[in-house]
Amino acid sequence: MIKRILVRCPVTKKLNVTGLTVDEELFEDAKLKPKDVPCQHCGGTHSWTKKQAILAR
């Protein structure tokens, strides 16, 4: 299953769509570098790592 990757905004605590997708089965082993994503909620830019990534249901 291809899932969208979300990260939680540290300011508003809301989920932010990163625009990236990942195959759920490959995610465990996937090597994701820290990325910056423009935040839809607070207007800032957040750097996130795989540890913080949340897969959308």
Contacts to Zn ion by CB under 5 A? 9, 11, 39, 41-42, 44
Phi, psi of 42 (to 5 degrees): -110, -5
**Of 9 and 32, CB closest to Zn ion:** 9
**Of 4 and 41, CB closest to Zn ion:** 41
Question: Shortest gap between Cβ of 22 and Zn ion (angstroms)?
Answer: 21
Report whether 3 contacts 56 (CB < 8 A).
yes
Question: Shortest gap between Cβ of 41 and Zn ion (angstroms)?
Answer: 5
Tokens 């897969």 belong to which residue? 55
Report whether 41 contacts 8 (CB < 8 A).
no
